Amino acid sequence: MSGNEQMAAAWDGPEGDHWADHAERYEATAEHYRRTLLGAVDLTEHSAVLDIGCGTGVSTIEAGRIASAGTALGVDLSSRMLARARSLAAAEGLGHVRFDRADAQVHPFDTATYDVAISSFGAMFFSDPVAAFANIGRSLRPGGALVMLVWRDLARNEWVEALRTALAAGRDLPVPPPGAAGPFGLADRPIAAQRLEDAGYRHVDFTSIDEPIRFGHDADDAYSFVSTFGMTRGLTADLDTSARDAALERLHRTLEDHETTDGVLFRGSAWLISARTDDGAG
């Protein structure tokens, strides 16, 4: 079974570095979703939790606060983000919360160890999702749960679609095919369900979560953040200076159009997916 080398290069490189440099801003964009995820997980003080694609460790630490007499392990591909996660856990004295750099698609997790695996937008990037979910499943105890947030389709996520439109500069931007590794890799419900079932999970359930994405308190603040995104850099890299300046101006106007009294808000939509490993019954 091969690993996810392409994503490892991105996340233990420019993408992960950007997240680490702007961690608090990224963490604030979708905090409503993270609260929904943790509210959907049945945790006790003795739970053993595995957090897939944990990033800067906020979800791992929040789970670890509940599982105060248990364990919480967060894994991610980004060394920089994991360094921040370790620092945050240490500052709270959470010795039972650990972080490892690991590719969850192939990492040799301890077998039948965890009660639950969670993921807050970290499970859409696997090059071989069935292998990855099977590998995670082997780490769960019989009947253990996998609960994760993943983005729904592009059309339902204005925070991406509006930015792409602003930066298109007259180009017809390609849309990744359904199921392709990336932010929308599990957006298609039938594809996601089939992958989990093929990986050995049962009782696969989907709940739609619609919450705003917040980029800043006003357009200028949001622009200082959004203009540095990897997506923004990628979509403007091949433009000449005039076209690039025009695209960035359209981006700023788009942010202005989404100013509210609660900040710069865009519509967002995710699936909360829950599934269980075979408990051996029946």
Read off the pLDDT of residues 184-226 as tens digits, 9 standing for 90 and up.
999 999 999 999 999 999 999 999 999 999 999 999 999 999 9
> What's the pLDDT tens digit per position in 133-154?
999 999 999 999 999 999 999 9
Contacts of residue 27, defined as CB under 8 A and 6 or more positions apart, other chains included, come to 56, 58
When divided into structural domains, the chain yields a total of: 2
Answer whether residue 182 is part of any domain: no
| Residue 3 banded pLDDT, cuts 50, 70, 90 | low
Answer whether residue 10 is part of any domain: yes
> What's the pLDDT tens digit per position in 237-273?
999 999 999 999 999 999 999 999 999 999 999 999 9
Cα–Cα distance for residue pair 155/210, rounded to 1 Å: 13
Q: Which residue segment(s) compose the domain that 127 sits in?
A: 5-152+187-212+267-277
Helix (H) or strand (E) holding 71: strand 71-76
**For position 19, what pLDDT does the model report?**
85
Q: Is the same domain home to 134 and 191? A: yes
Q: Is the same domain home to 79 and 111? A: yes
Q: Is the same domain home to 46 and 126? A: yes
**For position 1, what pLDDT does the model report?**
46
**For position 13, what pLDDT does the model report?**
80
Cα–Cα distance for residue pair 27/162, rounded to 1 Å: 21
Contacts of residue 114, defined as CB under 8 A and 6 or more positions apart, other chains included, come to 48, 49, 50, 73, 139, 140, 141, 144
Cα–Cα distance for residue pair 10/19, rounded to 1 Å: 11
Cα dihedral 43, 82, 20, 58, rounded to 10, equals 10
Q: Is the same domain home to 68 and 16? A: yes
Answer whether residue 84 is part of any domain: yes
Q: Is the same domain home to 138 and 81? A: yes
User: In the predicted model, what is the mean pLDDT of residues 130-134?
Assistant: 97
What does DSSP assign to residue 155? G
Q: Is the same domain home to 125 and 10? A: yes
Instruction: State residue 153 phi and psi, 5-degree precision.
Output: -65, 160
Q: Is the same domain home to 20 and 108? A: yes
Length of the chain: 282
Q: Is the same domain home to 105 and 202? A: yes
Q: Is the same domain home to 228 and 203? A: no
> What's the pLDDT tens digit per position in 219-241?
999 999 999 999 999 999 999 99
Q: What 3-state DSSP class applies to 201?
A: strand
Q: Is the same domain home to 44 and 139? A: yes
**For position 251, what pLDDT does the model report?**
98
Q: Is the same domain home to 137 and 170? A: no
Nearest alpha carbon to residue 273 among 55, 113, 117: 117
Instruction: Tell me the pTM.
Output: 0.94
Per DSSP, what are the bridge partners of residue 241? none
Q: Is the same domain home to 240 and 101? A: no
| Structure tokens that stand for 129 in this block | 């999702």
Residue 282 has pLDDT above 60, yes or no: no
Residue 279 has pLDDT above 80, yes or no: no
Answer whether residue 282 is part of any domain: no
Answer whether residue 181 is part of any domain: no
Cα–Cα distance for residue pair 241/252, rounded to 1 Å: 16
Helix (H) or strand (E) holding 244: helix 241-257
